[in-house]
Amino acid sequence: MLVNCFAYQDGKRVADHFTPADVGRYIGRPECFVWVALKDPEPGEFSELESQFGLHELAVEDASHGHQRPKIEEYGDSIFAVLHMIEMVNDELVVGEVDIFAGPNYILSVRNNAEKGFTEVRARCEREPELLRLGSGFVLYALMDAVVDRYFPIMDALETELESLEERMFNGGAARANIEDMYALKQKLMVLKHAVGPLLEGVGKLYGGRVPQICAGTQDYYRDVYDHLMRINQSIDALRDMVTTALSVNLSLITVSENETTKRLAACAALVAVPTLIAGIYGMNFETMPELKWAYGYPLALTIMAVIDIYLYFRFRKSGWL
């Protein structure tokens, strides 16, 4: 559906809430550009804007199919960008997509499977008319900056989740559940990595070397987006290393726990084995066995069993086996 349709000239809004059929009235004006936002558009709705803006067929094909890898591509004097919009819903990451077409006199954003829009981005741009005069290149930056900034709260939530898992791990939580949750966290980090990693190279081309014409004058802003992406990417790598380390520590704790259990079982077996040995020897009932008919033989055997077991018990306690 059509979310909004605005026209800007010289940094100020000159028209709003018009239909795609009226786009042609504004894109031909000097120093004027049109900002159109779509959400899960119908095929006919998208094709009408395709003809109005003269969008490249390959970019339109990618936007129509969706589920694209994040990227930034240049088609003549226009730019096509694909960004993943990630939202945290009930501790799970929901991945949407926004496709942005930016040309000299238009900016078109197409959201797919993403609920949160860009109302605050439009408000921010309109509060800075001197920057909005730079045209669609600044709006492209503002949209990309908004998407990238939304990754930071997700990183904070994942770091908090790891801290909780580490605390539970050292407090004796269920080992299997800990491992499953750590692998789930690692998968979330991979989702975020797939959203951030491919953008680094693309954004780098928008501020360094030969930049596209529509980005001229906004290189400093794209460098800021690149810096944010680098910070997030480094945080992801660091957090992934921490998760890997936590998994190793958790497995080591399992091994230590199993060793402790083995030692306790061995100690208990030793306490049972000594009386069993003595009882087994005197239970053979050979005719010529010493003390077989001695009146104090039975109490003496029980006493020896008890003394040895008491001695072994305290030795095992002292060595930490019990």
Cα atoms in the 13 Å half-sphere on the side-chain side of 84: 21
Distance of alpha carbon 14 from alpha carbon 99, whole angstroms: 25
| DSSP tag of 267 | H
Using CA of residue 201, residue 203, residue 207, residue 211, what is the dihedral sign? positive
Neighbouring residues of 135: CB distance < 8 A, sequence distance ≥ 6? 31, 33, 104, 105, 214
Report pLDDT for 280.
Answer: 75
Report pLDDT for 148.
Answer: 94
Question: Could you please report the per-residue DSSP string of 170-191?
Answer: HTT--HHHHHHHHHHHHHHHHH
Per-residue model confidence as pLDDT tens digits over 264-277: 878 888 778 878 87
Query: Domains in the chain and their CATH numbers?
Result: 1-147 (3.30.460.20), 257-319 (1.20.58.340)
Report pLDDT for 285.
Answer: 66
Report pLDDT for 155.
Answer: 92
Whether the model clears a pTM of 0.85, i.e. scores above it, the answer is: no
| pLDDT < 50 regions, the chain | none
Judging by beta carbons within 10 Å of its beta carbon (0-12, 13-18, 19+), is residue 319 exposed, middle or buried?
Answer: exposed
Report pLDDT for 156.
Answer: 92
Find tokens 């490249």 and name the residue: 56
Report pLDDT for 317.
Answer: 78
Closest CA to 107 of 210, 193, 27, 12: 27
